[in-house]
Structure 1
Amino acid sequence: MKKQMYYKLLALTKEEIDILEGADVNQSLYTDDVDFIVDSNKLLTKNKLIDIRKHPRFVHFPEHKHNFIELIYVYKGSFRQVVNSQKLTLKEGELIFLNQQISHEVLPSEYRDIAINFIIKPEFFNYILTFLDNDNIICDFLLTTLYTNDARAEYLYFKVSQNKEIHETIDKIMWELYKPSTMSEATIKLLVGLLLIELAKNSDSIEGYSANDYEKKLVLDTLNYIDTNYKTATLYEISDKLMQPHYKLSRIIKKYTELTFNELLQEKRLSKAAELLKSTNLPISETAQSIGYENLTYFYKIFKEKYNKTPKKYRDTVS
């Protein structure tokens, strides 16, 4: 498997052939925006939340941002980039998480330098976060990236070139994405969850993390609470847990996320409902009850507002 993957990745892509013949980076492959913000819709097929692609070699990839979470893994050789004006050279086996606010450019690489871009839509992590403990550097990074309105650019750089378990897990994820089967979607979620756990266990190898301030920590604790207690969660209960007046916590949540507590709770419940409709045969009425909605009419109304389909039509579309 590993040798087959290596030769597949070593082969020149059409984009790389064009580059070797003198072409610059074709930005239309990545975005329709005037600003160079790489668009996940350009790189992912419809309804897909995660995929991988080899980063094009031999060319200076200009400064850009992206509207998704990017994980870059150095499969072979090295990978040179400039992140927020800081030059980083990732070695073989190392990886880096970049959030949507980060700005970076990539320097030209050689033939045997192979870096893999994981393109991950934020909603992919709704399920994955349940694998992680609340007091966790990766969990904090993801929750900040997914739910808060903090414009600060952040990245996590993992110097794990000697960690065999992490490399084997990433190889398995790549294989499932390159050679999908009927169970690949569930397998990938489990493998990514396992990868994050392994990375969290190696927190001493992480560089580039910015600590959260007090208010931000309250928001992260609230988001963790919603993630694990979405069926019964209330603002008053989490306020008591955090020993904060409910009106103060409500204001802080709104400040950082631009959403109220109830809006965040509804987003979580509806994303869980969509996951259940897609992956189970649970009746729609039981699906609504399992996420905290006793009023089926109200559930239908808010689900259709979010997904532009009734729960039944949504299930029919994705099944």
Structure 2
Amino acid sequence: MDKKDIRKRLVAYTETEKELLAPKNQAASMEYEYFPFFISEGGQKVYRYTFEKHLESALKKDFPYTHFLESSQVIILKHARHSYTPFHTHDFIEMSYVYSGCVEMIINNENVVLKQGDFCLLDTDVIHRVLETSEKDILINFLMKKEYFSSQMLRRLASNSTISQFAVDALSESQKHDQFIVFEALNNEFLLDAIEGVLSHYFDPVGDSHEVINAYMIIVFSELLRSFQKKKSQESKKANQFYIGDILDYMEKNYMSCTLKEVAHEFGYNPSYLSRLIHKHVGKSFISIIQDIKLQHAALLLKNSTLPIEQIIQQVGYKNLSFFYQKFHERYDLSPNDYRKALI
């Protein structure tokens, strides 16, 4: 399925949309009617959406990709144009993407307007609704099981601190979930290509489509984070405020040789003051963060190259081999050699 086919599929009327556009005496039966509901503290009727019920509903529609759906941890749905979604929560993580038009939502009693190219990542148990959409408003919803953010997924997103923490919170049974993040990414071609890749393999799956979708989703989340960090950085600079993302980005790019004194000088801070700021925002010392970055890079080289371990140690900036082996074992509970063997 190429980009033209995806566009045709998204613009084409679904059966629900056809019913909504039919004479009033042929009102469409909306799926939310099949979910249980509760009354919120504010007196709102709030439906409880579940991943399993959405999956059950999708399987009944006998899509050509039904067999693929049975083993999927992601459900992709197009919001029906000319309709609204009542207040609801869900037990899954939802990523909403405005393919075209403009969509207005109410999230935690806050009005949120999503424009073309915007994404909204919603945690579990967030009370929200979508206001009525028009002909040009195409909203795509990605419903993801909490288990989809497995430990493996989190490791692959190790540098993506915002989304990783978001996913960790979503996995916590005791956490009160009321988070959402809006990303503006209209002109990000990498992101658009990744989304179209996901849709292509979802609507027209082949044998390895699950793995391909997972790879595309890593790109999606990575690009969303990059967009988020860029926006936060710009906002902080305009307000002349401290933003930890800029510091961490600099450390990531210069981890081989940067020192606390150098980073402090680069950003115009006293070293001791910067050290306290880093610990306050990250919960780790400057040295610990640098060591984490070095070990992450070493692990990537062990996984994706055949370089000798001694050469990898040099490449990531360690001079003391014994110290590296000690820190690597503390982090991964394996020696570098055993770590590489475990990946074969």
TM-score (normalizing by structure 1): 0.62
Q: Which has the higher contact order (CA 8 A, sep 6+)?
A: 1
SS at match of 1:133: coil
User: Could you tell me which residue of structure 2 aligns to residue 98 of structure 1?
Assistant: 122
The answer as to whether partners of 1:30 and 1:38 remain within 8 angstroms in 2 is: no
Cα distance 1:133–1:90, how it changes in 2: closer, same or farther (>3 A)? same
Q: Deviation string for 1:226-276 (max 9, x for gaps)?
A: xx99xxxxxxxxxxx9xxxxxxxxxxxxxxxxxxxxxxxxxxxxxxxxxxx
Aligned residues of 1:30 and 1:43 also touching (Cα < 8 A): no
Corresponding letter in the other structure for 2:144 = I
The corresponding residue for 1:26 is: 30
* Match in the other structure for 1:62: 86
1:165 corresponds in structure 2 to 190
- Number of the residue aligned with 1:49: 73
Match of 1:138 among 158, 163, 168: 163
* 43, 50, 60: which one aligns with 1:39: 50
**Contact 2:72–2:210 (CA<8 Å) still a contact in 1?**
no
- Offset, 1:24: 6.1
Q: Deviations over 1:194-220 (max 9, x none)?
A: 22122222223369xxx9xx99987xx
What is aligned with 1:178?
203
Say whether the 8 Å CA contact 2:160–2:225 is kept in structure 1: no
**2: distance between equivalents of 1:64 and 1:206?**
29
CA positional deviation for 1:147: 2.2
The answer to whether structure 1 residue 73 and structure 2 residue 97 are counterparts is yes
Q: Report the 3-state secondary structure (helix = DSSP H, G, I; strand = E; otherwise coil) of the residue aligned with 2:158.
A: coil
CA RMSD of aligned residues (A): 3.3
Query: What is the deviation of 1:64?
Result: 0.7
Q: Does 1:109 align with 2:128?
A: no
Alignment of 1:1-319 (within 5 A): 1-21=2-22, 22=24, 23=27, 26-27=30-31, 31-32=35-36, 36-44=47-55, 45-126=69-150, 127-133=152-158, 136-147=161-172, 149-202=174-227, 203-205=229-231
Give 1:177 deviation, angstroms: 0.7
Per the normalisation by structure 2, the TM-score is 0.58
Cα offset for 1:141?
Answer: 0.8
Deviates more, 1:32-41 or 1:157-166: 32-41
Residue aligned with 1:123, SS: helix
Give CA-to-partner distance per residue, 1:114-158, whole Å, 9 cap, x none. 110001101111132121125611111111111252214000100
**Equivalent residue, structure 2, for 1:280:** none
Matched positions, count: 223
CA contact (8 A) 1:81 1:87 kept: yes
Given residue 87 of structure 2, which amino acid in structure 1 is its aligned partner? Answer: E
User: What is the identity percentage for the equivalent residue pairs of Structure 1 and Structure 2?
Assistant: 25
Which sits farther off after the overlay, 179-188 or 55-64?
55-64
CA contact (8 A) 1:74 1:90 kept: yes
Matches of 2:105 and 2:85 in 1, distance apart? 9
Distance change in 2, residues 1:30/1:77 (3 Å):
farther
Q: Tell me the distance in 2 between the aligned counterparts of 1:141 and 1:27.
A: 28
**Alpha-carbon deviations, 1:86-108, whole Å to 9, x = none?**
11111111101001121111111
Report which stretch shifted further, 19-28 or 37-46.
19-28
CA-CA distance at 1:25 after TM superposition: 5.8
